[in-house]
Structure 1
Amino acid sequence: MSGRCWKAVKMRHVFSHFSEFKENIYNKHLMLFLDYDGTLTPIVDKPQRALLSKKTKQLLSDLTRQRDYTIVVITGRALKDIKRLVGIKGIIYVGNHGFEIEGPQIRFRSPVYSGFRKILRELKPEILEQVSRFKGVFLEDKGFSLSLHYRLAKRSLISEIKTAFEKSVMEYMLTHKVKTNSGKMVMEIRPPVPWDKGKAVLWLFARQKFANKAVPLLPLYIGDDITDDDAFRALRNKGIGVYVGTPKESYARFYVRNTKEVLRLFQELLRLKEGDTQCRN
């Protein structure tokens, strides 16, 4: 797939084009990158309620035990949060959109200048002061970032909430002390460095490729959020992107409709690997 010029294309449903999908992943070591909220769990009103089902956890455990799969859970959540929620050994965990990474033989923290945490401490009360009048809004401190969630707020107030948020961070943005980003019903403050899910995925892919030079390696990324577009774009000529949700123009080549179809895809991946093992034997 290398050497081609890629641009955003209309996605195809995985299970309507499964023969093509299988052909792409056949006889390769899959590096399976998985978003959490909206991919492994349905989107819920409050982040703390997004818990893995027993079926999802069992399928993830089964995939992790496969010799030809490397499983990576990559999320905007804090590293300690996602490790607690998934709780499966052998997985590589990526928190804060790539600023924190931990797994078998790997521990990484993106360098953030020393004054950034002080800036977050200064910003927290300023943001809270601006948004405190809105019901259904809460601020999450994730160590490397701050996230303002407004999923529980009235839809008619969202524009005002965004304006209040922007007002509180504007001075810091203009002086390049912070960077802001948006996701599904959330606005975020991150360090002002060129690092995101896409950069983290490429770094992990290169690392894995160097460690397993003799094995054909294919990254497969599954995600539903705006922040996952960075990863789809980064992998557009190196691997496969699968978007979760209503199809749109994207760098992801395939889509599944919902989290139930994500689990169905996991089951198919396990069946394919079992078939490969039987053929080798």
Structure 2
Amino acid sequence: MIQKREAHELPSALKQFNELKAHFNNKIPAVFLDYDGCLTPIVQRPEMAILSDEMREALHKLASVTKVAVVSGRDRQNVAELVKLDNLYYAGSHGFDITGPGAMASEPGGAKAALPALDKADLVLQEKLKEIAGSLVERKRYAIAVHFRNVADDQVEQVRKVVDEVLSSMPELKIGHGKKIYELKPNMDWHKGKAVLWLMEELGLNNANYLPLYIGDDITDEDAFAALQEQGIGILVGEHDDKTAATYRLESVDDVLIFLNSLTDTIKAQGHG
């Protein structure tokens, strides 16, 4: 049974860092992170989410002592180009497209079958939403994000109506929710949680030496928090509109930076890396 709490009820991963470390029990934390809202602040448009040099350096150092993967709703190639580090693993499109060191390249989840429906839905959404000021239809390889952050409040319902109309005519797709977006994605039993478990298995981390740790800020990250609740640690950044299956909380992207650097130091102190 997955346990969920309000975000404000979670202990701080920084203030309770010694308590959190006790969970390691000499295990090495394998780290999985979302990109938007976790490694970079939430911004008005996706292309504005630029990784800071400090965060890139923190990720690079962490990846030198343990396995690190960025698990994002963005296209895998897009998030890899934003992070610009070749010692990380990248799971794009909520884990439908995964690459990493050692020439890893896989598309688990079977999303290729949904590409024709995504192509068609993209055209319909672009046409039907072009008159709604502030709306943005962002096509990814295995998803379509309909952003309404910049849409007037009295027109958000119209955006949702258009999305529902498209979904009702395309059973190959389903809706996903995020911060000020509706996302159309393959109607398959695959999500960030399953992608993390797949990576754990693929990288040989399902043993007594490793402990999975997932950091994310969005509702889409809840699948990963739930998947790891009994065998790992979930850390929510900020809050979203629902209860969370995370174990700890960080307030901001700045706190994530501090936490990652502390984590690197802890792993080194354990004699790893």
Asked if residue 186 in structure 1 is aligned to residue 178 in structure 2, the reply is no
Of structures 1 and 2, the larger Rg is shown by: 1
Which letter does structure 1 place at the counterpart of 2:52? Answer: S
Deviation of the 1:209 alpha carbon: 3.5
Unaligned residue ranges in structure 1 (runs of 5+): none
| 2: CA distance, partners of 1:42 / 1:62 | 21
| 2: CA distance, partners of 1:34 / 1:114 | 25
Deviation of the 1:219 alpha carbon: 0.2
| 1: CA distance, partners of 2:223 / 2:256 | 20
**Aligned equivalent of 2:151, options 147, 150, 153:** 153
| 2: CA distance, partners of 1:16 / 1:249 | 21
1:239-276 Cα offsets, whole Å, 9 max, x none, are 00000004874210100001010001012112212322
**Stretches of 4+ moved more than 4 A in 1?**
none
1:158-213 Cα offsets, whole Å, 9 max, x none, are 222111221222121xxx22111111111111111100001111111123346x75
Which TM-score applies when normalising by structure 1? 0.89
Given that 1:220 and 1:240 are in contact with CA atoms closer than 8 Å, whether structure 2 keeps it comes out as yes
| 1: CA distance, partners of 2:160 / 2:172 | 19
Deviation of the 1:26 alpha carbon: 4.4
Equivalence for 2:126: 128
Deviation of the 1:132 alpha carbon: 1.6
Given that 2:30 and 2:210 are in contact with CA atoms closer than 8 Å, whether structure 1 keeps it comes out as yes
Task: Label 1:114 to 1:100 Cα distance change in 2 as closer, same or farther (>3 A).
Answer: closer
Identical aligned residues as a percent: 31
Given that 1:99 and 1:109 are in contact with CA atoms closer than 8 Å, whether structure 2 keeps it comes out as yes
Equivalence for 1:236: 229
Task: Label 1:57 to 1:273 Cα distance change in 2 as closer, same or farther (>3 A).
Answer: same
Moved more, 109-118 or 47-56: 109-118
Given that 2:40 and 2:253 are in contact with CA atoms closer than 8 Å, whether structure 1 keeps it comes out as yes
**Aligned equivalent of 1:109, options 95, 101, 107:** 107
Equivalence for 1:268: 262
Equivalence for 1:89: 86
Give the total of aligned pairs.
267
CA RMSD of aligned residues (A): 1.9
Q: How does 1:19-30 map to 2 (within 5 A)?
A: 19-30=18-29
SS of equivalent residue, structure 1 residue 97: helix
**Aligned equivalent of 1:257, options 248, 251, 262:** 251
| 2: CA distance, partners of 1:18 / 1:115 | 44
Q: How does 1:43-58 map to 2 (within 5 A)?
A: 43-58=42-57
Q: How does 1:31-50 map to 2 (within 5 A)?
A: 31-50=30-49
Task: Label 1:110 to 1:274 Cα distance change in 2 as closer, same or farther (>3 A).
Answer: closer
SS of equivalent residue, structure 1 residue 93: strand
Unaligned residue ranges in structure 2 (runs of 5+): none
**Aligned equivalent of 1:162, options 160, 167, 175:** 160
Moved more, 223-232 or 101-110: 101-110
SS of equivalent residue, structure 1 residue 233: helix
Which letter does structure 1 place at the counterpart of 2:178? Answer: G
Moved more, 251-260 or 5-14: 5-14
Given that 2:109 and 2:188 are in contact with CA atoms closer than 8 Å, whether structure 1 keeps it comes out as no
Which TM-score applies when normalising by structure 2? 0.91
1:130-158 Cα offsets, whole Å, 9 max, x none, are 21221111111111111111112123322
| 2: CA distance, partners of 1:77 / 1:145 | 9
